[in-house]
Amino acid sequence: MNGKNKMIAWIAGTITVIILLAVLIVWMEPAKEGISRAEAYKALALVFADRQECESAEEQRQKSWFSDQEKDNWFVKYMDLLYEKGYLDPSLTPADLESAQKKLTYGEAAFAAEQISGRLKRQVGMNKGNREKPFPADQWWDLYRAILKEADPQGNVKEVEAILYGTPSNIKDAPSWTAYTTEGEYGFQGLALDAWLDHEIRFMVRGNEIAAVTAVESSDVVYRNIWLSQVKDGVFQAYMGAASREFTAEGKLAEEAKKTEAKLAPNLADLHMKDGRLTKVTVKKERIHGKILSVTDDTVEIEGYGKIPLDENFHVYKLYGDFSVLGAADILVGYDLQEFVAADGKLCAALLERPFDAKTIRVLLMDTGFKSLFHQSAEIKLNSGAEITYKNENGDDEVSRLNQGDVLKLTLEDERLQNGRMTIKPDGEEGITICSIERSQGQPVYSGSLEIKKESDGLVLINELYLEDYLKKVVPSEMPASYEKEALKAQAVCARTYAYRQIQGNTYGQYGAHVDDSTSFQVYNNITTSERTDQAVDETYGQMLFYNDTPIEAFYYSTSCGHGADGSVWGSGGEALPYLKSKQIKNGGRELTEEDNETFDAYIRSRKVTSYDAKYPMFRWQTELTAAQIGLKASAVGNVQDVTVTSRGLGGIAAELTVKGDQGTTRIKGQSAIRTFLGNEEAPIRKQDGSKMTTASLPSAFISIEKITDEAGSISFRIYGGGFGHGVGMSQNGAQSMAKSGKTYKDILDFFYQGAELKEN
């Protein structure tokens, strides 16, 4: 054999050896782990629908590809959805328990992928030799990510990173298939998670259901700002969110815990975990008390301390009654209900120690005409001696005195406002007149204290006063003082209940206020007080309306059309506010049903209706709009050809308006949006007494629309309407008529807030 042939033989032999080694390696390498069909198909179904949608589809479908004996298994709703959508073929993948528990094959993965795109099918790498073999789990998740890019462009399936701290295995009374994580609670049907307890994991979710755990990030984790309720015999009882869980210390940590049990709990602490074991406990004992002046997403301002940043893992723990975990928004400004735990210059937690008892309210005062929350300047006259406090450049309090008759003029440049808020506390009642604000009564006079704070858009003025004093300036601004005493007392109870809920709502927490003084809440101090309205407040002192021990949404409005609406006018189901019923506003008025909506057009056009409100001017009204006027607000539809109410809420209130034009159709949903859309200051409202008014918004959405076409072909729309306001809760003029007929304020409240209980708080 010559040298050339020897070289060829050597190369061929080498290649043969390499091929044989490769075959041997492949033959010896263990098969990659597969994934069960149930687990894979659950994840695939979540690409197209969340868990609740899958369950709803199963109920509506009223059939299953699985037998009656097997259709209650957790995976059935997911696989049925895929059978229905064509991503699963029952001839390829039988619908039974045994099949669902077996491994997903290359052929099945390719079939599902092909329904989305050919590219995805090619990614599977199926061939004749592997068609029936298990498809490796890691390749499935690679394919799954590719499926998400094509089939879920909206990103409904998201990836979350969190510490897993609980499942039904370690959380007592936990619902089945519930995973507790530092990012919230999730379902995990069909998945095994217990091995990753006390680990930081990455997982894919749609809605609140986990599709897959994609990575274990760390076994070294810290639970920060956890409430330790008890330590006994080395066992730490802790609240993880609202769930209670035990951690057992070992070795030296257990010995130390047994010696210092009394000092360890109850307290706030950081719990350090390694490989699922408790390794260290850091207790936080620094405490801060004080009245809350403002709350933002990342700071809390405390009287005497200023603004303090919140720790990233800040929690609010309610310690009285049933333990619960709240958020920063539940810290009420103007009150000192909590003790703060601090560390490293930040607030780690707020410990709510006692229930809220509304005694004071903080009102943000708007400018003249209620146009803005901000004032470019403020002129304040003292009606008695007063103490003024502000921060100097060192952050210390500067205190001085003002005399009766002194006038304080403040601008954005005032040095006394550069380092924090200024507080004015008069010695006497009605101690402050704000000369730079005009109200219906003239320059308003205020009780309580006044705070002035510089913000980027101007000065904010906050009046803090006793709730009962506040109500004495709300009731006459919301209901004429000449009304019957019982009607005024009903108004006082509603106003008190409404204010109580608004204090808890913390709408203006960032500025340190609960409400403003405009119609956005309750009009405050627009009209001077009177003896009659003061008596109405005093005679109902502390009384509020409750439903199931919770203060109700005591909505009220000016005038009914003879029908009242229920709480669904704001979008949620009426069952959320069961005490607000849609009913006839008359003696013995019955509850209204959907059937009443069918006759509503005739009802609202009639003036021969019996109602408590029937004699008031706004009980019935009319206005007329041209097609051109309506078209200005619906330009996309072209020339307006028709306007109809296409959906009504209970009581007949318009819920959806359809506007048709020669270029398209648009729909306006919700009573408020409809009133705004049809409102036009150039189209006067004619009341039933013949008087007229102009307004940018319709008085109510209790309307019927008549299309009118004149001889020239011009189109206009006559709107028949009734009532003034949203129609939910108490009609103020209805209450007045009831009081005139001898009804007490309790009778009035029972009528308008069905099932609510009057209690003194």
Task: Say if domain 220-284 classifies as CATH 2.40.50.
Answer: yes
Return the percentage of the chain with pLDDT > 70, whole number: 96
**Axis crossing angle, helix 37-48 with helix 76-85, rounded to the nearest 10:** 60
**Is 222's pLDDT higher than 90?**
yes
**Which pLDDT value is given to residue 32?**
60
Q: What is the pLDDT of residue 29?
A: 41
Could you read off the pLDDT of 666-699 as tens digits, one per residue? 999 999 999 999 999 999 999 999 999 999 999 9
| pTM, two decimal places | 0.77
Q: What is the pLDDT of residues 520-555, one digit of tens each?
A: 999 999 999 999 999 999 999 999 999 998 999 999
Q: What is the pLDDT of residue 251?
A: 92
> Per residue in 82-95, is it b (16+ CB within 10 Å) or e — as a string?
bbeeebbeeeebeb
CB atoms within 10 A of CB 440: 11
Question: For the residues of 563-631, what is the DSSP string, one character each?
Answer: B-B-GGGGSS-GGGSTT---BBSSTTPPBP-HHHHTTHHHHHH-S----TTTTSGGGSEEEEEEHHHHH
Q: Residue 385: left if φ>0, alpha if ψ -120 to 50, beta else—which one?
A: beta
Q: What is the pLDDT of residues 101-136, one digit of tens each?
A: 999 999 999 999 999 999 999 999 999 999 999 999
The mean predicted confidence, pLDDT, of the chain is: 92
pLDDT at 587 over 60: yes
**In this model, does residue 8 exceed pLDDT 70?**
no
CA distance 248 to 238: 11
Query: What burial class does residue 336 get, using C-beta atoms within 10 Å of its C-beta: 0-12 exposed, 13-18 middle, 19+ buried?
Result: middle
- Candidates 442, 478, 476, 448; CA nearest to 462 is 448
pLDDT for the residue 357: 81
pLDDT at 16: 55
Question: Domain coordinates of the chain in residue numbers?
Answer: 1-30, 37-151, 157-218, 220-284, 286-352, 360-544, 549-756
- Asked if 383 and 426 touch (Cβ cutoff 8 Å), the reply is yes
- pLDDT grade for 25, boundaries at 50, 70 and 90: very low
